[in-house]
Amino acid sequence: MKTSEFKTMLDEMDLAVYESESAFIITEDELNWDIANVSKDYERIMSIEENAYEAIGSEQTDELFELLTAYASTPLSEREEPKKWYIKCPITDFYLKIKKDESTKPIWSASKLESELWKSKFTRAEIDAFEFPTDHLKKDEVTE
């Protein structure tokens, strides 16, 4: 499970999450109680506080347990989204765009924005799989 998915699921449960140096701390917003935590640095390390039952009830505590177990069981290397890059032409500074259904050849565009049809952010694996040379192209890391 990706960290972004984990945080989205907590938000859907109306629970807040904040990061300490070594863990994600889950809180119940209205009472502002810390009710659980899961390690950012180690797999299979998590805990639910006794006050969780009082703060969010038995059913939601069960749901939280399942979510924490799934996230804590995820290998650390699989929790984060892979880095992505924009590919730019070194001469024109235009961005490479590939149609998501791969029905046409790649294009070069002044805009790096993605759309429903066109992709402009690529993982290292996607770049390595291109059927054309990329060593001469600029690669700008996506930071958004």
60-86, pLDDT tens digit by residue? Answer: 999 999 999 999 999 999 999 889 999
- The predicted-structure confidence for 1-48, as pLDDT tens digits, reads as follows 999 999 999 999 999 999 999 999 999 978 888 999 999 999 999 999
Q: Are residues 110 and 137 in the same domain?
A: yes
Domain that holds residue 131: 84-141
Q: Give me the count of residues in the chain.
A: 144
Q: Please say whether the beta carbons of 95 and 107 come within 8 A.
A: no
Asked if residue 36 and residue 74 are part of one domain, the reply reads yes
Burial profile 17-43: b = 16 or more Cβ within 10 angstroms, e = fewer:
beeeeebbebbbeeeeebbbbbbeeeb
Residue 34 β-bridge partners: 27
Same-domain status, 33 and 47: yes
Kindly state whether residues 73 and 11 are assigned to the same domain.
Answer: yes
Threshold 0.75, pTM exceeds: no
